[in-house]
Structure 1
Amino acid sequence: MLLGFKTELKLNNSERTGLAKHAGVARHAWNWGLNLTKQILDHNRDNPEDKIKFPTAIDLHKWLVTMVKPECPWYYEVSKCAPQYALRQLSDAWKQAFKKVRKPPRFKKKGRADSFTVDGSLSVDHFRVKVPVIGWLKTFERLPTGYQPKSFTISRKADRWFISWKIEVEPTNEPKTHAVVGVDLGVKALATLSTGEGFEGAKSYRQYEKKLSRLQWLNRHKEYGSANWKKAQIKIARLHRKIANIRKDTLHKLTTYLAKNHSRIGIEDLNVSGMLANHKLAKAIADMGFYEFRRQLEYKCQLYGATLIVVDRWTPSTKTCSRCHAKKDSMPLSERVFRCENCGLEIERDFNASINLEIAAS
């Protein structure tokens, strides 16, 4: 199976400038293509009798070469792959928007999620990678070798640059210590297992919320684009990166433990976007990372030979007694203990839900 591999680059100032140029060209091509496609859509909406065919990625690239490159000679300072992949990704984004899978693409802003993709003459050595135009770039860690990657994606987070590509990994089928487990996700505790184990969430945003607020407050009156403003922006971006990394680290440890030690894992099909609509709990839910938990668990179950069972979201796992299966009419969040009126069972609500998920996954 294919897995993404990502590592940080060890760069000098010249290499940072080269990567920034590539990201800038990719961003310019994306914004130019997005502006053009929006004009075509507006024209087709206002003139239904004289519609223009919506361009493909190949059409956009041909127009870019004819219309943009002669006026923007700095396009020739970077690899031709950067604008090509940007237009290809724009075309894919519009396809998803037309299918109602995602919202329409938006314009990109400098310094926010800068990235680009290249292919061609790529190489991977023990502590370095070869990128077109720029050449060899050092890394901080030893890289997996023995294969030829098809493309590199280079991105910037705060003041650091990262490179990623896909590698072929053979799935393993290790012996498991537990046959079936139910996992109930929550806000108070990240995960409660039917085995009785509980895992606390990192709650990294809550931990650094005051510090983040302080940095943003100090930055409020700095002149936009000044040196002090740029320094403050980097500090804020570094803190955001730290918050995200702490959350991801907690989720990686939990999902790896579940996939390595359990044959069948039962989780609930949570409507995360609907849960985030609750303004009272949205911050706490986003801080836990429910969507990222499921994404990681799905591919790690394939990697370690486990089976993931996703229980229907309408299954009343919280309101059902795990002993006699009697169902309650309501179970508000303030009730932390499940008390069954039928058999008299008293049990912690998340633990009760995890047992019901284990039964559903059996």
Structure 2
Amino acid sequence: MKARYQYRFYPTDQQRQSLAQLFGCVRVVWNDALFFCKQSEKLPGYNKLSAMLTAAKKTEDRKWLSEVSSVPLQQSLRNLDIAYRNFFNSRNGKRKGSKMGAPRFKKKSNQQSAEFTKAAFSVKDGVVYLAKIGNLKPILSRELPCEPSSCTVIKDCANRYFLSFVVEVEPIQVDAKNQSIGIDLGIKTFAVMSNGQKAQSPDYSKQDRKIRKLQRKLAKQQKDSKRRNRIRIKIAKLHNQIADTRKDFLHKLSTKVVSENQTIILEDLNVSGMVKNRKLARVISLQGWREFRVLCEAKSEKLSRTFHTINRWEPTSQICSDCGFKWGKLDLSIRSVLCLNCGTEQDRDENAAKNIEMVGMGHRHDLKRTLSDCKTTFVAGCCEPSRITDLEGR
């Protein structure tokens, strides 16, 4: 399986200028090819786009494209061809997942990248050589497991530089402590495990308030002004702080979950539908539920684990995990429920996590209820205790 290793580096002034020229050439080649594709009746393939690039280098307007390495320019055309293929396959139903949009033009203010293949870069003694750029010294936080097949140099919106390598790794055989675990994802508590453990997400509210304040300020600035650009970079740095904090938390949590359990079971959440609620959209987007699922799935493959997702329509929060009695829909403010069938007081999230594990492992919700002698009515009598015991977490 393939894995990506990313390292940060700090270029010199000369290298910074060379990288800016490279990013600009890659962006121009992509935009020119995309404009030609939009004007053509039939989509041109990579071979025709490559011939156009060769011809453009001989013209007066585009002769400066020869000053940078040709490999990233050719890779930009390959990426455009792949993007169009994915777009058409997604539209025709040949590609799984959500519908993809058509390729768009690249902007100078967005993240910049250039991809080098084996012929245009080399790694030796912690120094990376890029064609027509020179030697770069990334901060190697960990060694590369093998020779990389490609190298991508990246400049993000906050003017940080990274080197990203694609390497081939072998699955690792590690014995798991537990057989299976179900995980219920939430907002207040990020993850509640079926074994009773809980994981609290970091607090992003401080950076989020600063971002909202700066965004209001940005809307009042004149377009393409220096002051607007300074505020844009400040916003990008705050976004990076949130993203880095979230990524660190999700990596540590997913590594712990996957390394300790043989089977990991999550619920297939409809995140795109949930963010349509304007009151919860911003909080849900900050959690990173989809990113956590992707990390668990990738690390499960790496450690030879089993990863499952259950149907989003499973009533995991409406059924008692001990006896299988269905008490129906509950308001989000209700955090604890007293089951009238077995008399067990259930925490809402922990009960849902246990049900997720049972459904994912192939057990029925009402397995224990079939053996129960207790009879319960759907409506509680006047002398019966209420099944709702805790409101608003109190």
Measure, in 2, the Cα distance between the counterparts of 1:185 and 1:76: 51
User: For residues 187-206 of structure 1, what are the structure 2 equivalents within 5 Å?
Assistant: 187-204=187-204, 206=205
How far apart are the structure 2 equivalents of 1:305 and 1:147? 20
Give the residue type in structure 2 aligned to 1:108: K
Letter in 2 for 1:140: I
Q: Report the equivalent of 1:211.
A: 210
State the superposition RMSD in angstroms: 1.9
For the pair 1:55 / 2:53, whether they are aligned, the reply is no
Structure 1 counterpart of 2:55, one-letter code = T
Q: Which residue of 1 aligns with 2:80?
A: 90
Q: CA deviation at 1:238?
A: 1.2
Output the CA distance in 2 between the equivalents of 1:338 and 1:60: 63
Instruction: Give me the whole-angstrom Cα distance separating, in 2, the residues matched to 1:281 and 1:217.
Output: 20
Distance 1:69 1:208, change over 3 A: farther
2:348 maps to amino acid: R
What's the secondary structure of 2:137's corresponding residue?
strand
Distance in 2 of aligned mates of 1:350 and 1:125? 51
Pair 1:358–1:232, CA change in 2 (3 A): same
Task: State the percentage of identical aligned residues.
Answer: 35
CA distance in 1, matches of 2:305, 2:81: 36
Alignment of 1:203-352 (within 5 A): 203-204=203-204, 206-352=205-351
Deviation of 1:171 after TM superposition, in Å, equals 2.1
* Structure 1 residues 258 and 146: alpha-carbon distance in aligned structure 2, compared to 1, 3 A threshold: closer
- Paired AA for residue 117 in structure 1: E
Unaligned 5+ segments in structure 1 are 41-51
> How many pairs were matched up?
350
Matched residue, 1:66: 55
Change (3 A) 1:16 1:34: same
SS at the partner of 2:277?
A: coil
Conservation of the 8 A alpha-carbon contact between 1:122 and 1:148: no
Distance 1:89 1:328, change over 3 A: farther
- Distance verdict in 2 for CA 1:87–1:69, change over 3 Å: farther
After superposition, the C-alpha distances for 1:233-290 in whole angstroms (9 at most, x for unaligned) are: 2222111111110111110011000011111111111122222222222111111001
Distance 1:327 1:271 in 2: 23
For the residues of structure 1 that align with 2:37 and 2:331, how far apart are their CA atoms? 48
Give the distance between the partners of 1:146 and 1:307, measured in 2 at CA: 24
Letter in 1 for 2:50: H
Which letter maps to 1:115?
S
Amino acid at match of 1:5: Y
1:214 & 1:338 partners in 2: Cα distance? 40
- Corresponding residue for residue 384 of structure 2: none
Q: Which residue, 105, 112, 126 being the options, matches 2:110?
A: 112
Shift of residue 19 of structure 1?
Answer: 1.3
Contact 1:94 1:104 in 2 (8 A): yes
Q: Give the ranges of 4+ consecutive aligned residues of structure 1 lying more than 6 Å apart after TM superposition.
A: none
Distance in 1 (alpha carbons) for counterparts of 2:245 and 2:58: 42
Structure 2 residue identity aligned to 1:334? S
TM-score (norm 1): 0.90
Aligned amino acid, residue 212 of structure 1: I
CA 1:69–1:154: 2 relative to 1, 3 Å: farther
Post-superposition Cα deviations, 1:132-170, rounded to whole Å, max 9, x if no partner, equal 111211112256357432221111121111010112223
Q: Deviations over 1:289-336 (max 9, x none)?
A: 011001111111122232112112222111121011122332232222
When normalised by structure 2's length, the TM-score is 0.83
Q: Select between 318-327 and 218-227 the one with higher mean Cα deviation.
A: 218-227
- Worse-matched range after superposition: 275-284 or 212-221: 212-221
2:178 corresponds to 1:178:
yes
Cα deviation, residue 224, structure 1? 3.7
State the Cα deviation string for residues 76-124 of structure 1 (Å, max 9, x = none). Answer: 1111122211221112212222123411121111020111111213211
Cross-structure match for 2:392? none
Q: CA deviation at 1:216?
A: 3.2
- 1:37–1:55 CA contact under 8 A, matched in 2: yes
Aligned residue number for residue 46 of structure 1: none
Tell me the distance in 1 between the aligned counterparts of 2:58 and 2:306.
51
SS of equivalent to 2:148: coil
State which drifts further: 8-17 or 59-68: 59-68
Name which one, 1 or 2, has greater alpha-carbon Rg: 2
Q: Within 2, Cα distance between the matches of 1:215 and 1:92?
A: 37
Asked whether 1:159 is paired with 2:148, we answer no
